[in-house]
Amino acid sequence: MGDELVHMSAMGGIAKITLDSPANRNALSDRLVEELETRLGTALADGAVRAVHLTATGTVFCAGADLKGGGSAVTSGFPRILAAVLGSAKPVVAEVNGHVRAGGVGLVAACDIVVAPAGATFALNEVRLGLLPAIVAVPLLRRVSARALTRWLMTGEAFGAEEAAAAGLVSMAVPDDRVAEVTAAVLDALRLGAPGALAGIKPLLASVACRGVDDGLVWAAAESAGRFASEEAAEGLAAFRGHRPPRWAPADG
């Protein structure tokens, strides 16, 4: 791995991407952002990758912008990373290893499923530094209510993982010693889903969210009919009837 700040490994259809710059609390330096963007792009372009597992080393998941570097990475490469995660058809699962601050909270918000230790704290403290949390607001407003987000952004106060889960920022807040176990179970569950069907979940949610009830149901009926007629559905239903795993699932799943 040399002196890289972001590592990637792939096994069993899962690409694991690890932020490894604990000396500066995995801050978003120019180099870390560049490496994260590269690793993420490689994982998302790999047809053998079914999901992305994002985590970090040390006691802080990500401290936000590298203030010693002037924050240039946050205003240049970081928006592309958030766009890639939000737009990815492949699920991105965050295994939060510790505290999260500022831009790191935005990165967590962009992920599809987030497992966090109950002992972790989160804070959007940009206003206390005279900064505007503009970029992170884009993914955050897609996850949490404007009421909760307004308080977090205006006060800059820290809040716990349980509050983050209640607000929708985190999927699950679990005992600190169970984070890896719960994340592994989530990744195992994703392996059981059909790749094409999984890829359709995020576009489905986005499309339904911007439609009225009647229009949404008409559109959804057409989408469902298309999936019932797909090769994946034929394989999935045949596997169900034959009491066997479908070809995309692990044999022991």
Residues designated catalytic: 126
Nearest-10 Cα torsion for 211, 214, 218, 221: 90
DSSP label at residue 205? H
* CA dist., res. 92 & res. 143, Å (int): 14
Query: How far is it, in rounded angstroms, from Cα 148 to Cα 170?
Result: 13
- The structure tokens 């790749």 sit at 195
| C-alpha radius of gyration, the chain, whole number | 19
Measured CA to CA, the distance from residue 37 to residue 55 in angstroms comes to 14
Residue 65, classed as helix, strand or coil, is strand
Which two three-digit tokens encode residue 198? 């999984």
The tally of CA atoms less than 13 A away on the side-chain side of residue 31 is 11
Question: Which tokens belong to 57?
Answer: 């080393």
What would you measure as the largest C-alpha separation in the chain, in angstroms?
62
